[in-house]
Chain A
Amino acid sequence: MSDLGLTESGVGLPAAAPLRVERGPVRDFWGRLTARPTAMIGLVIVVALLVMAVFADWIAPYDPIATDWGAIRAAPSLAHPFGTDEVGHDVLSRIVFGARASLGAGLTSVALAVALGLPFGLIAGYAGGVLDMLIMRLTDALLAIPFLILAIALAAFLGPSLTNAMVAIGLSATSTFVRLTRAQVQAVAAEEFIEAARAVGNPPWRIALRHILPNIVPAILVQATLTIAAAIIAEASLSFLGLGQQPPDPSWGSMLNVAKNFLEQAPWMAIWPGASIFVAVLAFNLLGDGLRDALDPRQRT
């Protein structure tokens, strides 16, 4: 089956071949990502949500915490396209501002998880030995507690606030990244180019940062994207339980919390935040799956 591998003939560049545009891994990856419709749908929605969160002040038609006692639980209308809630907040404006809380919590908590998980995973995977054992036992202990339960416990311990919810979610997600990083590092460290890097005289820290890290970034990126989706749900859950965003500031989860009391009288109060969570989570999952396909260097050859 040796010549089923099309690599040799497929990429054979005769020395006289005209120079084409240099195609680095990033450009390759972008080409493969844009070729996937579902990934592009996910990316477009994610970008739209981010724009919405960043420019909420300009996009939202009303102040999200301004109450309008003349329009309480008003059904969707031209003035309030998504309706209003039980104290006369404009639901559309709260959805727009709620994106800040949800995406902010998703991104911040995952950034925290990666910032903690990556270095510990690198150390555990590359240094091995006692450090590895210590880090992994601690990770195992954390992983034994379900993600949401841990986040709830931490949020309750730290006190209810959006910031504390983000910290709680980030800490709860850290063990996933430690594990993933360690497994990836071990896989890459076994590759021959790592031995080649040692043979040329690279010190261990340079092997870890210059040779191993760039090769594990794709897997981390995919996991981070998927974890953002989970973190958005976690933030919504914490806010729903009153452990996240505090009233009157809006978040999709806390909006649902209030809406549950008025499901029959004012279903729009629940539908819009519910749909927002659904769309955001779906978008990050689609993007994550697309990234995984586009970044996997194994399937290229």
Chain B
Amino acid sequence: MSPATPGSYPLLSVRNLSKHYPLRHWWGGQGSLFRAVEDVSFDIRPGETLGLVGESGSGKSTIGRAVTMLNPPTSGTVAFEGADLAKLSPREMRRMRARIQMVFQDPYGALNPRMSVGDYVAEPFRLHRPGLARAERRDEVEGLFARVGLDPRFARRYPHQFSGGQRQRICIARAIALKPSFIVADEPIAALDVSIQAQVVNLLQDLQDELGVSYLFISHDLRMVRYLCQRVAVLWRGRIVELADVDALYDDPRHPYTRRLLGAVPVPNPVEERARLAAAALMPPTHPDEGGALVEVAPGHWVAGGVEFQT
């Protein structure tokens, strides 16, 4: 019933992950549960990019923070390179962070305004390779700056002296410092200008080709997800409603919500876009229901509720 990976051994294996928050009225009335994420399972293979798409409040970012234990899940398991992350002690988890990294949405907020960007990028070495000599560390940092397309002489500057795209490169440099096997990229291009987004996406792709790192690419940009990801999971109200190889999902979406989502993306072509708008106006709005458990409707193509959406 869970979308396990046939063939290759997964790098990350998430099973029945849920994150609940107790809700209480401000006057202290009786509590209920907000189910931010409910019973989510997926695998990520070595060197693979899994896209996680969905609208605001669908639980995308919650999953990103749950699998990295920054905000641990309420229940479920997250197995990474064979270790159950939820069972690690805080100390062991901190050591594990050399292998799991994160790139955040807001490159303004993710940088410490009172730390030079060189110190910021050097921090993983200080924490995880304390034996490294100062000169070696500086060489490593310079190499990372060059790798992400920044002048190494900028290392002594502070975050406010950089543009948004440059800041995101700095965050990426820090994330790849220890050559992790897995990076959660939470909306890494959402805060960037259109002309900068392609630069960052190309950088992420190049780094994957070079280092073999796996990504969990969380995004609401459905065009970029199609470009960057091998497989995609569609989230709706905290549940995965569809999970498939990217081409299968985009060319043959089965779940009504996936169809609605893909059908809402504007096309940068006036003739097609006007036709799309006209067609959309005639389509009745669909309100998918909860869906239920994932069912494999085609090899590797999982849909909530399964059979009823088969075409």
Contacts and interface: CB of A to CB of B under 8 A. Distances in A.
Contacts of B158: 23-25
Contacts of B164: 7-8
A163 B158 CA distance: 43
Contact of B156 (A15, A22, A203): A22
Contacts of A197: 112, 123
Nearest to B71: A195
B104 A192 contact: yes
Interface in B99-118: 101-102, 104, 106, 108-116
Contact of B161 (A11, A191, A195, A202): A11
Interface majority SS (helix, strand, loop, mixed), chain B: loop
Interface residues of A, number: 31
B114 A195 contact: no
A70 interface: no
Contact of A199 (B97, B116, B157): B97
Contact of A300 (B106, B157, B160): B160
A211 interface: yes
Size band of the interface chain B makes with A: 35 or more
Contacts of B97: 199-201
The residue in B95, B108, B151, B160 that gathers the most chain A C-beta atoms within 10 A of its C-beta is B160
B141 to A, nearest CB: 14
Contacts of A4: none
Given A196-B102, A211-B115, A214-B114, A301 B160 contact: yes
Interface of B: 68, 70, 94-95, 97-98, 101-102, 104, 106, 108-116, 123-124, 127-128, 149-151, 153-154, 156-158, 160-164, 166, 171, 174, 193
Given A22-B156, A300-B160, 9 more contacts: A11-B160, A22-B157, A25-B113, A192-B104, A193-B109, A193-B110, A199-B68, A200-B124, A215-B114
14 contacts: A7-B160, A13-B161, A13-B162, A13-B163, A22-B156, A196-B110, A196-B111, A199-B97, A199-B101, A201-B97, A201-B124, A203-B94, A215-B113, A297-B113
